[in-house]
Amino acid sequence: MADNVIEETDNYPGKDELDWGYEEGVEWGLLFPEANGEYQSPINLNSREAWYDQRLLEVGLNPNYVVCRDCEVINDGHTVRIMLKSKSVVTGGPLPSDHEYELSEVRFHWGKENQRGSEHTVNFKAFPMELHLIHWNSTLFNGVEEAMGKKKGILIIALFVQVGKEHLGLKAITDVLQDLQYKGKTKIIPCFNPNTLLPDPLLRDYWVYEGSLTTPPCSENVTWILYRYPLTISQMQVTPPQLLLNITITQICM
């Protein structure tokens, strides 16, 4: 474990030239050739096959997030996205030395059932929901579009979600979901702090592996960091019924 770590052997980030839908997920390889790659995500994380990397303890993962003002929250017809304009970056851990990865957006992924909303699984166990914090390498590239598909270009930090008490850090988002019932709807929230999504510093064990985007174009060269301990949010925050009627349930590039 690193930081404490375990290591495992659109616009998503950018808008695709072709429109797509989850109903033809099995045919994505025909529309998006990168979906036929060898290192596709998501995967099942097998804790017994993971190996401990002592080197990652020496250079801890360092999220340096700042509060975003006037953030845009979008229903894009596939998911809910929080677009961030503040200069929030991540360094250290398994990332290349002296490289900064800038946080571009946060995405929500849930399913029809509380038990199966996450894209990744741990020992074949799914979680009610999964959050993706999408970053691009601002040391090598000029934007998320340029970084997509490039070596060392994209970092996604994923957090599993379990049901429990209300998560105050997400309240500003969940409070506006009723205004985002339909594709294309947007809402500006005055303040969002991405630091509230991170686990307690003592609970920051994570898995890391190289994979791909989980929706078209399914580009590879994505570094995935998945925190071991889940985020806790309330039942109402996990399954906003007004959105589930209008967003296609997530399928994936596999």
Structure tokens at 217: 């174009």
Nearest to 211 by CA among 144, 249, 159, 157: 157
**Cα torsion angle, 198, 43, 126, 183, sign:** positive
| Pairing, β 220-233 against β 206-212 | antiparallel
Give the span between the Cα atoms of 167 and 164, in whole angstroms. Answer: 9
Nearby residues of 114 by Cβ (< 8 Å), 6 or more positions away: 128, 163, 235, 238, 239
For the question of residue 99 being annotated catalytic, the response is no
Amino acid at 106: V
Q: Which residues pair with 207 in a beta bridge?
A: 226
Phi, psi of 6 (to 5 degrees): -110, 130
| Pairing, β 121-122 against β 44-45 | parallel
**Looking at the annotation, which residues are catalytic?**
78
